[in-house]
Structure 1
């Protein structure tokens, strides 16, 4: 792995930590608003709560750092390394939100860190400059078309499951297992659609990188459609994330949302940009192992 790729990985890791810190500070704003002793109709709009405002600024700063970094490193690798947010979430949820963190949760972070180390050490690919015609041709890939179809089925299925669970809860008929199913189904409805913002973000970032290298991509309609699609999908994700913070505790929903985000970001980037094809046998094995170790850490932390 070249030094430039390593540098952008560091930028991405810093951005990921900022994104997670922003989420927790936003949650602190929601908690502050909920603690006000007044009628719901008299509570100030969440957008007027200072903690929420600061959280949004930190979240956006981290998002910008991630946006730029995706133009210089593989999406599948950076998406997996985004799991560093699980580690920071343990610290922030405990320190910022005063939520209880178990020994089991702390121990699980070791798996996440180990998985991230495996990915960085054994994944040697970098991100190349791409043009609009190349990116457009990627949409005709049978593998990516199959992914899109599967993604829509997953999103629709988990949305239906979430709505069913909400109806049961409203009638007081939900059993205890719905306490776990509701946040999971919510996250797996949002993540497949929200992670398209990562793909569009990388597309725009790569095209800007190509333009800065002297081969302008600003004369293509595809560039601007990708930018608009990025704005739409990231707005969807941030809106749903903000709603999730009102529905569930941060130490549950933030990692759950991020696990869905990580999985679908890895798949969409690896399939669309053909990143998996760049790995040799060892890199493929270590990449899969690293992701499995990270997911094992996530599973044991909740």
Structure 2
């Protein structure tokens, strides 16, 4: 239900607004873990939660207005503009370099390899899903977009990008600590998604420098709060080794026993 609501949000609001607000789910998770799982939130963790809320409020206040395209062909025009094509080529080139060269050599030691692939593909996922959402909205309003090949192209791109994200995010979680993966992935994914959305949909077009600066400050505040919340997370004590006992004594060799055959 949450992902469906997030999908709908991309239809009616710019990614510059929707993506950073995903940090609120981290606050909800921390509060639920505190009350339901008895996980203690440290003082700095509370500071991180407050920072996320303050940054989110600043972003909402200065968020740009959404300019909904009138058809999938309009979205295709935005996707084929030179600036965004340069971003797509640079993104795919970076992904290929990470997969073919850096992953075999540094994938098991450097967390930025797996998360870099996830974040780069994730930025393309968001703009594709936003295009699909707008196509669905226009279709429900009576302007069918199913016949356009661009609709199916965006759907194909979204499926490929989502599968790639899942594969390499699972690799990152299998290799590195989740408390490290979560904040780094959130920072990289959110930053690249905002860059892709600003280039393609021109979210900051028509805004003054003060509003853009306020959004950037709010975004940095949210990122700082997210990192603080994860870094100060209470670590669970490791479980005791299986089969250990406080009063355990090693068995004596059989030749140290007493009796008739003790000299054996």
Q: Which TM bucket (shorter chain)?
A: 0.7 to 0.9
**TM-score, structure 2 as length reference:** 0.74
**Aligned residue number for residue 224 of structure 1:** 152
Is there any run of 5+ residues in structure 2 with no aligned partner, and where? Answer: 232-264
SS at match of 2:70: coil
Whether 1:268 aligns to 2:193 is: no
Q: Which moved more, 1:266-275 or 1:79-88?
A: 79-88
Match for 1:247 among 160, 166, 175?
175
* Shift in alpha-carbon separation, 1:153–1:113, aligned structure 2, 3 A: farther
Whether 1:165 aligns to 2:99 is: no
**Aligned residue number for residue 88 of structure 2:** 148
- Once the two structures are superposed, residues 261-290 of structure 1 have per-residue CA deviations (whole angstroms, 9 ceiling, x without a partner) of 211111111211111214233321211111
**Aligned residue number for residue 290 of structure 1:** 218
**Aligned residue number for residue 256 of structure 2:** none
Q: Write the mapping of 1:56-75 to structure 2, written as runs, cut at 5 A.
A: 61-75=1-15
8 Å Cα contact 1:90-1:251 kept in structure 2: no
**Aligned residue number for residue 50 of structure 2:** 110
8 Å Cα contact 2:114-2:171 kept in structure 1: no
8 Å Cα contact 1:83-1:262 kept in structure 2: no
How far apart, CA to CA, are the structure 2 residues paired with 1:108 and 1:162? Answer: 33
CA apart distance, 1:122? 1.8
* Shift in alpha-carbon separation, 1:253–1:120, aligned structure 2, 3 A: same
8 Å Cα contact 1:123-1:279 kept in structure 2: no
CA radius of gyration, larger in:
2
8 Å Cα contact 1:129-1:207 kept in structure 2: no
**Aligned residue number for residue 279 of structure 1:** 207
How far apart, CA to CA, are the structure 2 residues paired with 1:199 and 1:74? Answer: 10
How far apart, CA to CA, are the structure 1 residues paired with 2:55 and 2:93? Answer: 29
RMSD of aligned C-alpha atoms? 2.7
How far apart, CA to CA, are the structure 1 residues paired with 2:76 and 2:69? Answer: 14
Match for 2:65 among 112, 120, 125?
125
CA apart distance, 1:157? 5.5
How far apart, CA to CA, are the structure 2 residues paired with 1:90 and 1:192? Answer: 27
Highest relative contact order (Cα 8 Å, sep 6+), 1 or 2?
Answer: 2
- Once the two structures are superposed, residues 146-178 of structure 1 have per-residue CA deviations (whole angstroms, 9 ceiling, x without a partner) of 3223323544555544543346xxxxxxxxxx5
How far apart, CA to CA, are the structure 2 residues paired with 1:77 and 1:152? Answer: 25
Tell me which protein shows more helix as a share of its residues.
1
CA apart distance, 1:92? 6.1
When the two structures are aligned, how many residues end up with a matched partner? 229
CA apart distance, 1:84? 2.2
How far apart, CA to CA, are the structure 1 residues paired with 2:57 and 2:207? Answer: 17
**TM-score, structure 1 as length reference:** 0.66
* Shift in alpha-carbon separation, 1:131–1:84, aligned structure 2, 3 A: same
Whether 1:208 aligns to 2:104 is: no
Q: Write the mapping of 1:27-38 to structure 2, written as runs, cut at 5 A.
A: none
Is there any run of 5+ residues in structure 1 with no aligned partner, and where? Answer: 1-60, 168-177
CA apart distance, 1:121? 1.4
**Aligned residue number for residue 37 of structure 1:** none
